[in-house]
């Protein structure tokens, strides 16, 4: 069992200074979102300053007491907002709890809608509500362009009963799907900001087949034991920014999967959870790709993985042009890992003769403490080895004392700067430099 209390090293005097700069300003904002929307008496009105229509769900019958079903009121208000021309602000006021059942919110709309969630939207507790419905969806937006979701409020998936029924929690339970709390499908020019997402039934926030997305200043929270509760899931989406957010869940903080590209992730606090993941890719022999990803500025704490690329045997496609840089870690298992033998199955996976190609992957300025001896692992395919891997300024010491090490299988690349643990690439221009640094730095061996 990990000794979390004593898992600390001298290196974190520097790390915590960086973390305070990275995370503290956001935490201050996230703990107390300002709520400036006031409930009007009129059914809708046109604001004088910005000439925007403002609609309030309470004027369409929403009770906001957390007990009555407010779904129809939301749908009626959305229908009007979608039909009007111009800029529309649809408001869930602060201080109220709106019980919303599984709902399908469709576009296209004539208007550009700002969905202001200043109160709390809550899901039904009982999974039986989803009988006869798509159990993968709760709040499902599709085909809506120029949508902004804002307001400083909360979306609570009430996922406890779903977790208890999961086969990941109890292997005797049958494996069934569970809803993603907030899904955006085929949306363009989308902004999600200043929200708290809590205890989703499964994934918290998912973008599928979207274009031009900005997600910022979010708090995504669920217990470490909650199964499959990814924080932000990006699939078949192009042009994504995720920044200035805190994600603490039971699965990947951020997962980027099939056919996504031009993804920029910046200033993320991640942990607990499974780290930041590319993949899995290539399951069921599919062709899938993820390209042009930058993860810049992240602090990972108590995560099961750090920076991970995972692919299934038998698949095809590409994971390429991916850079992780300026990363701080504390008590992270598998801090740097590429796994082309990924197998999330109750049964062993058979060896396959094809693989997703992994190439042009960079890890730059990654430092912190590892909860496992193997701080760097590149387990690449015999058929399709990893090519053009690059390491620069890596400093990953053991959380419990002793040395860390690297593992390479069919991994080819180069390295520069100080590296600890030393790289395991078959050739490296910095071999002498690495070993001189390790042998002369007594602080590493005294941790």
The residue out of 228, 263, 278 marking a domain boundary is 228
pLDDT digits (tens, 9 = 90+) for 293-311: 999 999 999 999 999 999 9
- Note the residue count of the chain: 447
**Both 136 and 274 in a single domain?**
no
**Both 271 and 404 in a single domain?**
yes
Structural domain includes residue 21: no
**Both 314 and 418 in a single domain?**
yes
| CATH number of the CATH domain containing 79 | 2.160.20.10
**Both 141 and 181 in a single domain?**
yes
The residue out of 228, 243, 277 marking a domain boundary is 228
Catalytic residues: 274
Cis peptide before 108 (omega within 30 of 0): yes
Structural domain includes residue 270: yes
Structural domain includes residue 27: no
Structural domain includes residue 162: yes
Domain count, the chain: 2
pLDDT digits (tens, 9 = 90+) for 329-356: 999 999 999 999 999 887 888 888 899 9
Rounded CA-CA distance 365/440 in Å is: 20
**Both 198 and 323 in a single domain?**
no
pLDDT digits (tens, 9 = 90+) for 94-138: 999 999 999 999 999 999 999 999 999 999 999 999 999 999 999
Rounded CA-CA distance 178/136 in Å is: 5
**Both 315 and 436 in a single domain?**
yes
Structural domain includes residue 176: yes
Structural domain includes residue 9: no
Q: Would you place residue 7 in the very low, low, confident or very high pLDDT band (cuts 50, 70, 90)? A: low
**Both 299 and 415 in a single domain?**
yes
Task: Provide the domain limits for residue 48.
Answer: 38-228
Say if residue 209's pLDDT is above 60.
Answer: yes
Structural domain includes residue 92: yes
**Both 104 and 190 in a single domain?**
yes
Structural domain includes residue 239: no
**Both 175 and 274 in a single domain?**
no
Say if residue 439's pLDDT is above 50.
Answer: no
Burial 113-132 (b: 16+ CB within 10 A, else e): bbbbbbbbbbbbeebeebee
The residue out of 195, 228, 261 marking a domain boundary is 228
Structure tokens at 67: 């007990």
**Both 297 and 191 in a single domain?**
no
Choose among 256, 257, 263, 265: nearest CA to 238: 263
Say if residue 247's pLDDT is above 70.
Answer: yes
Helix (H) or strand (E) run with residue 208 in it: strand 205-208
**145 DSSP assignment:** B
| pLDDT confidence of residue 426 | 66
Among 31-45, 109-123, 423-437, name the one with the lowest average pLDDT: 31-45
Helix (H) or strand (E) run with residue 1 in it: none
**Both 217 and 141 in a single domain?**
yes
Choose among 442, 403, 408: nearest CA to 423: 408
Q: CA 83, 88, 93 angle in degrees (round to 5)?
A: 120
| pLDDT confidence of residue 44 | 52
pTM recorded for the entire structure:
0.87
Residues 39/45/51/56 CA torsion (nearest 10 deg):
40
Q: Would you place residue 66 in the very low, low, confident or very high pLDDT band (cuts 50, 70, 90)? A: very high
| pLDDT confidence of residue 314 | 94
**Both 275 and 211 in a single domain?**
no
């Amino acid at each position: 069992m990990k000794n979390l209390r004593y898992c600390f090293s001298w290196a974190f005097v520097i790390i915590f200074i960086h973390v305070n700069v990275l995370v503290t300003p956001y935490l201050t904002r996230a703990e107390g979102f300002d709520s400036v929307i006031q409930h009007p008496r009129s059914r809708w009105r046109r604001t004088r300053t910005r000439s925007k229509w403002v609609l309030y769900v309470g004027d369409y019958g929403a009770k906001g007491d957390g007990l009555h079903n407010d779904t129809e009121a939301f749908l009626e208000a959305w229908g009007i907002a979608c039909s009007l021309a111009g800029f529309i602000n649809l408001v869930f006021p602060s201080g109220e709890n709106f019980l919303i059942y599984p709902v399908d919110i469709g576009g296209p709309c004539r208007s550009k809608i700002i969905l202001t969630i200043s109160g709390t939207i809550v899901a039904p507790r009982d999974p039986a509500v989803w009988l006869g419905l798509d159990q993968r969806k709760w709040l499902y937006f599709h085909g809506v362009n120029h949508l902004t979701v804002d307001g400083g409020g909360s979306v609570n998936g009430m996922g406890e009963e779903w977790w208890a029924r999961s086969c990941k929690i109890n292997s005797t339970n049958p494996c069934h799907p569970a809803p993603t709390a907030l899904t955006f499908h085929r949306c363009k020019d989308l902004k999600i900001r200043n929200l708290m997402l809590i205890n989703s039934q499964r994934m918290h926030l998912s973008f599928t087949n979207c274009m031009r997305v900005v997600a910022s200043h979010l708090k995504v929270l669920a217990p470490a034991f909650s199964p499959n509760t990814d924080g932000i899931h990006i699939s078949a989406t192009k042009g994504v920014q995720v920044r200035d957010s805190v994600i603490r869940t039971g699965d990947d903080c951020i997962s980027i999967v099939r056919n996504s590209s031009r993804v920029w992730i910046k200033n993320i606090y991640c942990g607990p959870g499974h780290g930041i993941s590319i993949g899995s890719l290539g399951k069921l022999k599919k062709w899938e790709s993820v390209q042009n990803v930058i993860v810049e500025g992240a602090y990972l704490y108590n995560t099961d993985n750090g920076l991970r690329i995972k692919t299934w045997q038998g698949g095809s496609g590409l994971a390429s042009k991916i850079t992780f840089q300026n990363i701080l870690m504390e008590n992270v298992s598998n801090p740097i890992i590429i796994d082309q033998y990924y197998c999330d199955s109750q049964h062993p996976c058979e060896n396959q003769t094809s693989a997703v190609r992994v190439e042009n992957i960079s890890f730059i300025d990654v430092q912190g403490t590892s909860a496992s001896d193997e701080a760097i692992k590149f387990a690449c395919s015999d058929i399709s080895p990893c090519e053009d891997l690059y390491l620069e300024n890596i400093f990953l010491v053991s959380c419990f004392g002793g040395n860390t090490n690297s593992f390479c299988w069919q991994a080819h690349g180069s390295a520069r700067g100080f590296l600890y643990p030393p790289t395991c690439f078959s050739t490296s221009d910095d071999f002498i430099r690495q070993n001189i640094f390790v042998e002369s730095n007594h602080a590493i061996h005294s941790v």
